A and B are shown apart, each in its own frame.
Chain A
Amino acid sequence: MKLFKNLLESVKPHFEKGGKLEKLYPVYDGFATFLFVPGHTAHSGAHVRDGIDLKRTMITVVLALVPALLFGMWNVGYQHYKALGETVGFWDQFLFGAIKVVPMVVVSYAVGLGIEFAFCVIKKHQINEGYLVTGMLIPLIMPVDIPLWMVALSVVFAVVLGKEVFGGTGMNILNPALTARAFAFFAYPSYMSGDKVWINTSTEAGQSVVDGYSGATALGELATTGSTSLSPMDMFIGSIPGSIGETSVIAILIGAAILLITGIGSWRIMFSALLGGVAMGLIFNWVAPYATSPEQQSFMGTPFWQHLIMGGFAFGIVFMATDPVSAAQTTRGKWIYGFLVGLLCIMIRVFNPAYPEGVMMAILFMNVMAPLIDHYVIEANIKRRKKRVQVKVKTA
Chain B
Amino acid sequence: MAEVTEALEKQKKQREPLFSKKNRKLLSDPFNDDNPITVQVLGICSALAITVKLYPAIVMAISVMVVLAAGNVIISLMRNLIPNRIRIIVQLVVVASLVILVDQVLKAYVYDVSKELSVFVGLIITNCIIMGRFEAFALGNGPWKSFLDGIGNAAGYGIILIIVAFFRELLGSGQLLGMQIIPESWYLDNGGFYSDNGFFLLPPMALIAVGIIIWIQRSRNRELIEEN
Q: Which A residues are closer than 8 A to B by beta carbons?
A: 147, 149-150, 153, 161, 165, 183, 186-191
How near does chain B come to A76, taking the closest CB pair, in angstroms? 20
Query: CB distance A150 to B195 under 8 Å?
Result: yes
Q: Does B202 contact A (CB under 8 A)?
A: yes
Query: CB distance B198 to A186 under 8 Å?
Result: yes
Say yes or no: A188-B197 contact (C-beta < 8 A), given A147-B188, A161-B208. Answer: yes
Residues of A within 8 A of B188 (CB): 147
Residues of B within 8 A of A153 (CB): 197
Query: CB distance B198 to A187 under 8 Å?
Result: yes
Q: Does B193 contact A (CB under 8 A)?
A: yes
Residues of A within 8 A of B193 (CB): 147, 149
Query: CB distance A183 to B195 under 8 Å?
Result: no
Q: Mark B108-141, 1 if CB is under 8 A from A, else 0.
A: 0000000000000000000000000000000000
Query: CB distance B215 to A187 under 8 Å?
Result: no
Residues of B within 8 A of A183 (CB): 199
Cα A190 to Cα B197 with chains together (Å): 11
Q: Which B residues are closer than 8 A to A by beta carbons?
A: 188, 193, 195, 197-200, 202, 208, 211-212, 215
Cα A150 to Cα B202 with chains together (Å): 18
Closest to A191 in B: B195
How near does chain A come to B222, taking the closest CB pair, in angstroms? 14
Residues of B within 8 A of A191 (CB): 195
Contacting B195 at CB < 8 Å: which of A161, A165, A186, A188?
A188
How near does chain A come to B198, taking the closest CB pair, in angstroms? 5
Residues of A within 8 A of B195 (CB): 147, 150, 188, 190-191
Query: CB distance B208 to A186 under 8 Å?
Result: no
Q: Which 9 A-B pairs have the closest CB atoms?
A: A187-B199, A186-B199, A187-B197, A187-B198, A188-B195, A189-B198, A186-B198, A186-B202, A183-B199
Closest to A149 in B: B193
Closest to B212 in A: A161
Q: What are 9 A-B pairs with beta-carbon distances under 8 A?
A: A147-B188, A150-B195, A153-B197, A161-B208, A186-B198, A187-B199, A188-B198, A189-B198, A190-B195
Residues of A within 8 A of B197 (CB): 153, 187-188
B193, B199, B212 interface centre (most CB from chain A within 10 Å):
B199
Cα A233 to Cα B150 with chains together (Å): 69
Residues of A within 8 A of B199 (CB): 183, 186-187
Residues of A within 8 A of B202 (CB): 186
Query: CB distance B215 to A165 under 8 Å?
Result: yes
Cα A147 to Cα B189 with chains together (Å): 13
Residues of A within 8 A of B198 (CB): 186-189
Residues of B within 8 A of A190 (CB): 195
Closest to A185 in B: B199
Cα A187 to Cα B202 with chains together (Å): 9
Residues of B within 8 A of A188 (CB): 195, 197-198
A150, A183, A186, A191 interface centre (most CB from chain B within 10 Å):
A186
Residues of A within 8 A of B211 (CB): 165
Cα A165 to Cα B212 with chains together (Å): 9
Closest to A187 in B: B199
Cα A221 to Cα B183 with chains together (Å): 36
Residues of A within 8 A of B200 (CB): 187
Cα A186 to Cα B211 with chains together (Å): 19
Cα A188 to Cα B211 with chains together (Å): 22
How near does chain A come to B167, taking the closest CB pair, in angstroms? 13
Cα A36 to Cα B198 with chains together (Å): 44
Cα A351 to Cα B211 with chains together (Å): 33
How near does chain A come to B58, taking the closest CB pair, in angstroms? 25
Cα A82 to Cα B131 with chains together (Å): 65
Known: A147-B188, A147-B195, A188-B197. 16 other contacts (CB 8 A): A147-B193, A150-B195, A153-B197, A161-B208, A161-B212, A165-B211, A183-B199, A186-B199, A186-B202, A187-B197, A187-B198, A187-B199, A187-B200, A188-B195, A190-B195, A191-B195
Cα A319 to Cα B195 with chains together (Å): 30
Cα A186 to Cα B167 with chains together (Å): 17
